[in-house]
A and B are shown apart, each in its own frame.
Chain A
Amino acid sequence: MNMQAVKTESAAAIPLATSGEVLRLPAPKASYLQTKLLPAAKDFAANLIPPLVMIALILVVWQILCSKQGATLPSPSKIWMEARDLIVDPFFVAGPQDIGLGWRVLTSLQRVAIGYGFAAVIGILLGALVGQSVWAMRGLDPIFQILRTISPLAWLPISLAAFRDSQPSAIFVIFITAVWPIIINTAVGIRNIPQDYRNVAAVLRLNHFEFFIKVMIPSAAPYIFTGLRIGIGLSWLAIVAAEMLTGGVGIGFFIWDAWNSSRLSDIVVALVYIGGIGFVLDRIVAFVATVVTRGTSAN
């Protein structure tokens, strides 16, 4: 912009010496299609085609391996024939126990949301405490280090005994699975807050709450989100196992039920669902992380 202004000024001064006039010729404008759409489409195709090719290859090999006489697992074509209703319509309702996988996944997601929500809030608060206070770290860190190695399912009997109901027990298992990485990563992030930021906060006399909101959380955000991302992955792993044991509605119980009635094709479809949802969950947390930590990680 400034360049242009300078140019016109000098052009106005020149006519005293010369009689010529400078004409600005419009540059040929490339169409939107050429500059934006084509490269974007190329980029997209370059990212999409290789995985599609690989999936097709895997399906073909799988089909060949499982088409033999006496194969123990169903081939893709057999799955398509047997479990077509599950694949094409995730949200059908044919009876109280005969519902689409979409509904089941939503039930499981709801449990994960509650358990993971508690884990996120309590994990960040406890992590901040452990990261900020040397005494809290000395007292709590060894306990956390031991508790976090316990398998999520080992907590299930304890929580069933405590809550006497399957729904809160499953939620508790999610909570206890997801909370450790969140605590530990938050604590590391808080411990790594540069002394400079602490000095700035001290000179400004920020109180504990202001320091927590304005300095701690943004500064530790990249670490916190690492914890949150590990946590969401672990919760999704744990919910399937927990539901297999607690029963009721849910993707985990569906698999157990399908196994008991020898519907192997249904199980394969459910596995694809679980993988897909897990992938999406991870991406959502990763996306939120990049948006939130834009400023911090740019440094």
Chain B
Amino acid sequence: MPTYPYLKIDHVDKSFKRGAATTEVLKDVTLAVEKGEYVSIIGHSGCGKSTLLNLVAGLLPVSAGCVLLENKEVNDPGPDRAVVFQNHSLLPWLTVYANVKIAVDKVFSSTKSKQQRHDWIMHNLDLVQMAHAKDKRPAEISGGMKQRVGIARALAMEPKVLLLDEPFGALDALTRAHLQDSVMAIHAKLGNTVMMITHDVDEAVLLSDRIVMMTNGPAAHIGEILDVPLARPRKRLALAGDPTYVRCRQRVLEFLYERHHYVEAA
């Protein structure tokens, strides 16, 4: 048994420099995520949640501290930490199939044959129930469908950690609920390690094993970590009145709206 955690964010600071001015966004963030765990990061807008995700993804360099994946430091982006972006980020000139293909061809060019790659693409599109639209372009499908394809593209890289950057933020409530159920089902089936950014309390409680609550910036840090001891599979309707669910929800709300009230001017 390894004694180190699967993913470790170790005393990470992040500051942005613009000319002489330095803005400290994150200060001393430490978090350990176990394999197969679903962790949500919640906080008010502007608190640096997305910055933290970008640091783990390697899209931004850390100012101090380090990010360790399987005890190895990661500094640059790579398919082992696949990102599902908030606005899907599909390439609009490629079909749904080709958008997943570009990832699969890159990651499995030497390990899978052409036929295997095709099967793997279709398998992932099936997982998100988008195989029927494989020849459509992103402009021809709905927002929820685009996000599904984005998830398929990320899953197809077989990442060690799946990073979700407010994946359901731009969707309407019904589509969002539907997609949350899909993500839960996929997580149950594949057992991915997931780190999700969100600002939706219900979403965080419903999906996560642990909820990481961030204080307000500047120099944001982890204010509190809440375990969500709800058995899986979780059912949206049954949970609504569940005392544990209500208690967790209450804790997050208290944190966000009483102790770390969002100050517009800050």
The residues of A that contact B77 with a CB separation of less than 8 Å are 199, 202-203, 205
B57 contacts across to A, CB distance below 8 A: 199, 203
Q: Which residue of A lies closest to B159 (CB)?
A: A203
Q: Indicate whether B217 reaches chain A with its CB closer than 8 angstroms.
A: no
* Given A200-B85, A200-B91, 18 additional A-B pairs, CB 8 A: A196-B89, A199-B57, A200-B89, A202-B77, A203-B59, A203-B78, A203-B81, A203-B82, A203-B157, A204-B79, A214-B102, A218-B91, A219-B91, A294-B93, A295-B93, A298-B92, A298-B139, A299-B139
Which B residues between 78 and 126 are near A, CB-CB below 8 angstroms? 78-79, 81-83, 85, 87, 89, 91-94, 102-103, 106-107
Give CA–CA (A204, B108) in the complex, Å.
11
Say yes or no: A299 contacts B138, CB within 8 Å. yes
Q: Is the interface of B mostly helix, strand, loop or mixed?
A: loop
Q: How many angstroms from the CA of A194 to the CA of B92 in the assembled complex?
A: 12
Q: Interface size for chain A: under 10, 10 to 19, 20 to 34, or 35 or more residues?
A: 20 to 34
Interface residues of B in 165-209 (CB under 8 A from A): none
B78 touches A205 (CB 8 A): yes
Does B35 make an interface contact (CB < 8 A)?
no
Would you call B137 an interface residue if the criterion is a C-beta within 8 Å of the partner chain's C-beta atoms? Answer: yes
Give which listed residue, A205, A295, A296, contacts B106 with CB less than 8 A: A205
Residues of chain A within 8 A of B89, CB atoms compared: 194, 196-197, 199-200
Whether A79 sits at the interface, judged by CB under 8 Å, is no
**Residues of B at under 8 Å CB distance from A?**
57-59, 76-79, 81-83, 85, 87, 89, 91-94, 102-103, 106-107, 137-139, 157
Q: Which residue of A lies closest to B107 (CB)?
A: A204
Give A contacts to B, CB under 8 Å.
194, 196-197, 199-200, 202-206, 210, 214-215, 218-219, 221, 293-296, 298-299
Residues of B within 8 A of A219 (CB): 91, 93
Contacts of A214 in B (CB 8 A): 91, 102
Query: Chain A nearest CB: distance from B207 CB in Å?
Result: 22
The 21 listed contacts between A and B (C-beta, < 8 Å) are A194-B89, A196-B89, A197-B91, A199-B57, A199-B77, A200-B85, A202-B58, A203-B57, A203-B78, A203-B79, A203-B83, A203-B157, A204-B106, A219-B91, A293-B93, A295-B92, A296-B92, A296-B93, A298-B137, A299-B138, A299-B139
Q: A204-B102, A204-B106, A299-B138 are in contact. Are A199 and B83 (CB under 8 A)?
A: yes
Contacts between the two chains (Cβ within 8 Å), count: 63
Residues from chain B with Cβ under 8 Å of A196 in the complex = 85, 87, 89
CB distance from B52 to the nearest CB of A (A): 15
Chain A residue at minimal CB-CB distance from B88: A196
Q: How far is the CB of B165 from chain A (nearest CB, A)?
A: 10
Decide: A299 and B106 in contact? CB cutoff 8 A. Answer: no
CB distance from B149 to the nearest CB of A (A): 12
Task: Kindly report which residue of chain A lies nearest to residue B94, judged by CB atoms.
Answer: A295
A199 touches B85 (CB 8 A): yes
Q: How far is the CB of A216 from chain B (nearest CB, A)?
A: 11
A211 to chain B, nearest CB (A): 11
Kindly list chain B residues whose C-beta atoms are within 8 Å of the C-beta of A293. 93
Q: Considering only CB atoms, which chain A residue lies closest to B106 in the complex?
A: A204
Complex Cα gap A204–B82 (Å) = 8
Complex: A214 Cα to B81 Cα, angstroms: 21
Question: Nearest 4 A-B pairs (CB), nearest first?
Answer: A295-B93, A299-B92, A196-B89, A202-B77
Hey, which chain A residues are within 8 Å of B76, CB to CB?
A: 202
Most chain B CB within a 10 A radius of its CB, from A200, A205, A215, A294: A200
Contacts of A206 in B (CB 8 A): 106
Closest Cβ of chain A: how far from B134's Cβ, in Å? 15
In the assembled complex, how far is the CB of residue B96 from the closest CB belonging to chain A, in whole angstroms? Answer: 12
> What residues on A are CB-neighbors of B107 within 8 Å?
204
Q: CA–CA, A139 to B106, complex, Å?
A: 34
Question: How far apart are the CA atoms of A219 and B90 in the complex, in Å?
Answer: 12
Contact assessment for A218 and B93 in the assembled complex, using a CB-CB cutoff below 8 Å: yes
Q: In the complex, are the beta carbons of B59 and A199 less than 8 A apart?
A: yes
With both chains docked as a complex, state the minimum distance between the C-beta of B56 and any C-beta of chain A, in angstroms. 12
With a cutoff of 8 Å between Cβ atoms, the chain A residues found around residue B79 in the complex are 203-205
Cβ distance B135 to chain A, nearest Cβ, rounded Å: 13
**Closest CB of chain A to B105's CB: distance in Å?**
9
Q: What residues on B are CB-neighbors of A194 within 8 Å?
A: 89
Residues of B within 8 A of A298 (CB): 92, 137, 139
Task: Tell me, rounded to whole Å, the shortest Cβ–Cβ distance linking B46 to chain A.
Answer: 18
- B153's nearest neighbour on chain A, judged by CB, is A200
Q: What separation, in Å, do the CA atoms of A219 and B92 have in the docked complex?
A: 9
Given known contacts A199-B59, A295-B94, A296-B93, is B83 in contact with A204 (CB within 8 Å)? no
What is the bound-complex CA distance between A206 and B105, given in angstroms?
Answer: 11
Shortest C-beta distance, A47 to chain B (Å), equals 28
Identity of the chain B residue whose Cβ is nearest the Cβ of A194 in the assembled complex: B89
Chain B residue at minimum C-beta to C-beta distance from A298: B139
Whether B103 contacts A204 by the Cβ 8 Å rule is yes
